[in-house]
Amino acid sequence: MLKRKTTYEDLGPLYFEEKQRETAIRNSIKRLERFGYKVTLEAGTPA
């Protein structure tokens, strides 16, 4: 904050869970592509 001269901004209670979810999805896609799969994601209903 001091270095960038910005004000404090609360990221919210789910920020880190969402970030971890996005990372897991991205890593899973990369892993499947390394095995030769073409990956297309379609949003579904949460389990």
16 lies in some domain? yes
Contacts of 29 (CB under 8 A, 6+ apart): 39, 41
4 lies in some domain? no
25 lies in some domain? yes
45 lies in some domain? no
* Residue 23 lies in domain: 9-39
Q: Please compute, for residue 46, the number of CA atoms within 13 A of its CA located in the half-sphere on the CB side.
A: 1
Number of domains in the chain: 1
Q: The pTM is what? A: 0.67
Q: Tens digit of pLDDT per residue, the chain (47 long)?
A: 788 889 999 999 999 999 999 999 999 999 999 999 999 999 888 76
2 lies in some domain? no
* CB-count burial class (<10 Å; 0-12, 13-18, 19+) for 29: middle
19 lies in some domain? yes
CA 47/CA 41 separation, integer angstroms? 16
CA 42/CA 40 separation, integer angstroms? 7
